Amino acid sequence: MKVAFQGERGAYSEEAIIAHWGEAAEPLPRPYLPDVFDAVEKGYADLGLVAVENSIQGSIVRTFDLLNERTLRAQGETVLKIVHCLIANPGVEAGDVKRVYSHPQALGQSREYLERRGLEPVGVYDTAGSVKMIKEQGLMDAAAIASQRAAEVFDMKVLIRGIETHNENYTRFLVIGGEEPEPTGRDKTSLAFVVEHRPGTLVKALNSFVKRRINLCKIESRPLLGKPWEYIFFIDFHGHMKDPEVDEALKELRGQTRYIKHLGSYPRFND
């Protein structure tokens, strides 16, 4: 089974694939998030794994946009504990480092360390990709933030391990594909919707869940393109589309919204 992920070998997404599926999965690297969706939609991969949320930095908003734009659905989730390492070329010491390269999420998750040391953060497309880049360019005054595994993949030196701002640092990933799992009794559903831009419309929409005691575990807003200061809302809630109470809530919700899209119902990670 091929599973596409964003980044280079050694990326946290690849680590999450290995942790989730073990030897049953063959990780397939892709440079950018849309490429992961493309790989699954075009049949190059059976599934994709995409980061959706971090416990320090919050949501990966591009993932929400792509789930809304594309035909693939979320059909599973997994969580990985993130331990960031400062990685450099052999021969480089911590005091030699002036610039640090990594994905913007990793830089944000390590902001306190970088600011305390007066290091210049430079964003690139991927954590493991930043390790690959400083190796290929032979940079001796720079380092990268990535996983221990990325250092091993590229035969690089770990200067410091555990530079994240808080050690309770976790990233949630969604499995994306073309199918929808059957209800398990312990599920989560992701949904996108738009309400009329009037007072009380969002409250009425969310009340469809509240009155049925359906647990809303996440709400996120993104700008609605072409409608300045209006928003599309993304929610996660406990339950499956096929659960009777969820079906009732969604029938009511449709009457409160002008756009709604089911992004997936799937077994939820132990939370």
Compute how many other C-beta atoms are within 10 angstroms of the C-beta atom of residue 167: 9
DSSP for residue 14: H
What is the C-alpha separation between 177 and 173, in angstroms, rounded? 13
Query: Cα dihedral angle (127, 130, 135, 137), rounded to 10 degrees?
Result: 170
Is 237 catalytic? The answer is no
Nearest to 152 by CA among 18, 1, 33, 31: 18
- CA distances 5 to 44, 69, 81, 266, Å, are 12, 18, 17, 19
Set 5, 173, 233, 237: catalytic member: 173
Please answer whether residues 12 and 78 qualify as being in contact, where contact means their C-beta atoms are separated by less than 8 angstroms: no
For the question of residue 173 being annotated catalytic, the response is yes
Cα distance between residue 182 and residue 84, in whole Å: 36
**Which one from 63, 171, 189, 257 is the annotated catalytic residue?**
171
Distance CA 270, CA 237 (A): 14
Q: Which residues are catalytic?
A: 171, 173
